[in-house]
């Protein structure tokens, strides 16, 4: 599967009924999950997102032969899923986005998606870069994401007991909220993440991100392809 054909997937009225192969079903299902889980990264509103994809769930929902493929053709399903993920990994950098697998658990593939430019902005802040450096991370965007990916992989493989909560900085969380969570402070409010600072400012940020997410999801639901959404950039600021 080519990168362009993968990102031509859209969520039109036909949905899964228009798919005529295992690869088509997986690509359509992954496109839906990708947009739903990474809308704010696609739009350029935050640096990164972590999400999971369940290929068996997608094939099961498609019914018929595709549902049977889950039980009788697991090797085929794995091969086609690798093809879809590789296509996205090849194409997304054209839009400033990278997609990487960080693990698999209970039939789900765990993925990390990120924008290098926005990760660099995180590192441009001295307080955040100092915090990350003290935890053993590099100060280049690529180095930081490789380090975080390695720790996520180790966590999902059971080689690391603690989740790398510092990843919150590239997920768009303020430094004080990441430190507050890691140090066990009392939260001031809760929304898209737990807040340990100004709750009013956090709620404005939550509302901003929800607007961006809703816009991307609605565009995709109306038939705009992943490719077209990927070309769009977020101009709005909170």
Model confidence pLDDT, tens digit, residues 174-201: 999 999 999 999 999 999 999 999 999 9
- Does the pLDDT at position 237 exceed 50? no
The secondary structure of residue 168, as a DSSP letter, is: G
Match 């909220």 to its residue by tokens.
177
Average pLDDT on 92-114 reads: 92
Residue 137, sorted as left (phi over 0), alpha (psi -120 to 50) or beta, turns out to be beta
pTM of the entire structure? 0.86
Residue from 110, 92, 88 nearest 23 by CA: 88
Q: Largest Cα–Cα distance in the chain?
A: 55
Predicted confidence (pLDDT) per residue in 153-167, tens digit? 999 888 989 999 999
């Amino acid at each position: 599967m080519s990168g362009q054909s993968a990102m031509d997937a859209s969520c039109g009225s036909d949905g899964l009924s228009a798919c005529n192969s295992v690869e088509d079903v997986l690509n359509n299902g992954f496109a839906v999950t990708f947009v739903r889980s990474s809308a704010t990264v696609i739009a350029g509103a935050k640096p990164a997102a972590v999400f999971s994809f369940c290929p068996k769930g997608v094939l099961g929902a498609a019914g018929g032969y595709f549902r049977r493929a889950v039980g009788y053709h697991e090797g085929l399903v794995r091969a086609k899923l690798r093809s879809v993920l590789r296509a996205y990994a090849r194409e997304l950098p054209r839009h400033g986005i990278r997609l990487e697998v960080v693990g698999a658990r209970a039939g789900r593939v765990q993925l990390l998606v990120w924008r290098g430019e926005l990760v660099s902005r995180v590192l441009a802040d001295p307080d955040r870069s100092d915090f990350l450096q003290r935890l053993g991370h590099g100060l280049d965007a690529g180095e930081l994401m490789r380090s975080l990916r390695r720790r996520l992989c180790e966590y999902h493989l059971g080689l690391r007991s603690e989740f790398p909560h510092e990843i919150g900085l590239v997920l768009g969380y303020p430094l004080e909220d990441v430190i507050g969570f890691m140090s066990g402070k009392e939260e001031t409010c809760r929304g898209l993440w737990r807040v340990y600072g100004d709750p009013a400012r956090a709620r404005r940020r939550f509302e901003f991100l929800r607007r961006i997410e809703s816009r991307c999801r609605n565009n995709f639901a109306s038939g705009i392809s992943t490719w077209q959404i990927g070309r769009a950039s977020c101009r709005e600021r909170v």
